[in-house]
Amino acid sequence: MTMLKAKALSVKRHEIKFFVSHADYEYARSILAELMERDPNQTNERGYFIRSLYFDDILNTAVEDKLDGIEERDKYRIRVYSPDQQWAKLERKRKHNQFVDKSSVRISRDQAYQMIDGEYDWLLDMESNSARSIFFDLKRRYFRPTAMIDYDREVYLMDYNDIRVTFDMNLRISTEETDLFSDQLEMEQIQRGDTIIMEVKFNHCLPSWFPQIFRLNGTTAQAISKYCLGRMHMREFYSA
């Protein structure tokens, strides 16, 4: 068997998420622009486009575990940053409270379409432990595409503990479309224009002064899932 080389990435990090107002977002980004670097991949100062096609099993385990508050849970998706992109990222996010282990494999456009059609035996041909691990996860249960989520992300970076602050806005969803590379999808708005999802990601710890710079007006961290927000928005699921 010929083994195909794959660009793979495994990252273990903390993630803390907040819902913030548009006013708090504008304040925070003005501070971060002075303290941190913008992500060089941004096409403009307000960020870049992201599209994720999420997969779930026939029991909808990923969304059910999230809504039930299960501490250890997995989520699977294919992600692109433009509909005309010739490659995609296959990702598994393994959550342990605020700790996240993300495995990522770069795949071709054709391989992404094969996954959408339920064919993923080719993952075993890759020189990637992550690819093979994801294959066995998918093989154990019947997975299929369940939701397409589009949004815009603005990103700030700091070398210290690999701190990354993101602002996600303009969330849209389709549970009918599965063509990851189409530029003609009809999407339904999920997110109010005056609400932003802010994520703070880091390796070990934050500087003591870091949380103080945001002035979040009593906002507390929340277990936010764009996938679950989308499925609930479509009235497929309801929070307790």
pLDDT one-digit tens code per residue, 7-51? 555 567 888 899 998 988 999 999 999 999 999 888 788 899 999
Q: Residue 120 is part of which domain span?
A: 8-233
Instruction: Establish if 240 belongs to a structural domain.
Output: no
Instruction: Establish if 204 belongs to a structural domain.
Output: yes
Give kind and range of the element (H or E) at residue 32.
helix 22-35
- Per-residue confidence band for 4, with pLDDT thresholds at 50, 70 and 90: very low
Q: How many domains does the chain have?
A: 1
Instruction: Establish if 73 belongs to a structural domain.
Output: yes
Instruction: Establish if 2 belongs to a structural domain.
Output: no
Higher model confidence: residue 87 or residue 213? Answer: 87
Beta bridge partners of 101: 12, 94
Q: Is the pLDDT score of 207 beyond 90?
A: no
Whole-Å CA distances, 69 to 58, 88, 239: 19, 30, 10
Q: Is the pLDDT score of 171 beyond 60?
A: yes
Lowest-confidence region among 45-59, 97-111, 129-143, 203-217:
203-217
Instruction: Establish if 239 belongs to a structural domain.
Output: no
Instruction: Establish if 45 belongs to a structural domain.
Output: yes
Q: Which residues of 153-190 are buried (b: 16+ CB within 10 A; e: fewer)?
A: bbbbbbeebebbbbbbbbbbbbbebbebbeeebebeeb
Instruction: Establish if 238 belongs to a structural domain.
Output: no
- Are 174 and 159 a contacting pair, CB within 8 Å? no
CATH of the domain at 57: 3.20.100.30
pLDDT above 90: percentage of residues in the chain: 57
Instruction: Establish if 3 belongs to a structural domain.
Output: no
